[in-house]
Each structure stands twice: as structure tokens, then as C-alpha cells.
Amino acid sequence: MTAAGRVESDAKLRLFCGLRLPDAVADDIAAWQAGLDRGRIVPRDNLHFTLAFLGRQPRERLAEVVGALRAHAAALEPPVFVLERYRETRSVGMLVFSRDAGAERLALSLQRELLGSAERDRWLPHVTVVRFRERPHLRPELPRLGPVMTSEAAAYLSVLRPAGAEYVVLESVRLGGT
């Protein structure tokens, strides 16, 4: 486990938990993103699988968030995902991956514990790759990714900036308690 970021202020923090991508996968997705001709590209260092978006939380809640992440991640063996498709919502484009039962249990457990309920009955494993104001209806060829195995989860701070959000890893934990 590493503590990569520090939080000094008493203001509310935008927090979320996610699975980190292996460097080689993040590099491959970032190279593929260069071919997207519309929207605001999500920076390479912000690419991740979101497990639970917690929104604005009091700074004092950070220890609880990290503790829950640590406890739930210890029981999860590293999941493996396979890229299935590109999908757009009203404001983002994403790469959607195959489901992993263990990762889905982790996401839903974190949501229930930290938010009081799960956002949905099922968790959608995806990586947001582009943001936009108007849906561009992109139909990109998918990047060539082999199976994606992630072995690390993290608690993130989301800092809103004029150019877009910056995600800071506050604490990372190995999956499976290793």
C-alpha cells in the first residue's frame, strides 16, 4: 500500500474508489485516444475503472474510505477484464469491459458501505476515455488490448480544474491482501 497524496484543507473533498490500470494498458489506451477527433480526451493518468463515486465528502471521512477499500480489496483476487465495446452516454465516451464477479462484488460492497446503497444492481466495468458537451456519436475501432488484469485499487481525490478534472491517488492497496 502506498500513500501517494496528502490532503491538507478542511474543505469537502470529491472522492472515489477505483481500480488502477496497469501502465502498459494505460499507455495503449492513451495511444488509441490520439485517434479520437472530437471531445476532451481523458488524460492517461486519469484512466481507471470506477468502483464507487462518493462525491463531496468531509475530509474526516477519508480514513473510513481508505479503511473500507483496504478491507474489501483484501478479499478480492486480481480481476481480469476483456474489452467488449465503445459506448457513449450524454457526456462521456467509454470502453466497456467484460464483467468480473469479484470486482462487481467489490464495487457494490463499497457503494453500500460508503454511500448507504448501491447505485445500480449491476456494476458496469468501464474506462472513461473522452468527455463532451454534445454527443459526437463516435464509432472508433477498438484498441487492441489483451486481457486486462489489475492488481491494485485506490482511493482518489478529484480536483476540478478549468482544463478538466485531475485525479490524485490518495492511497493505493494491493488486491488479495498481497
Rounded CA-CA distance 175/69 in Å is 10
Is it the case that residue 168 has pLDDT exceeding 60? yes
- Closest to 170 in 3D by CA, of 36, 3, 57, 13: 3
**pTM more than 0.85:** yes
What is the per-residue pLDDT across 14-57, written as a single tens digit (0 to 9) for each? 999 999 999 999 999 999 999 999 999 999 999 999 999 999 99
Give the per-residue pLDDT at 178. Answer: 52
Is it the case that residue 3 has pLDDT exceeding 90? no
Q: Is-contact 80 169, C-beta < 8 A?
A: no
pLDDT level of residue 1 (50, 70, 90 thresholds): very low
Alpha-carbon dihedral angle through residues 149, 152, 157, 162, given to the nearest 10 degrees? -30
Q: Is-contact 63 171, C-beta < 8 A?
A: no
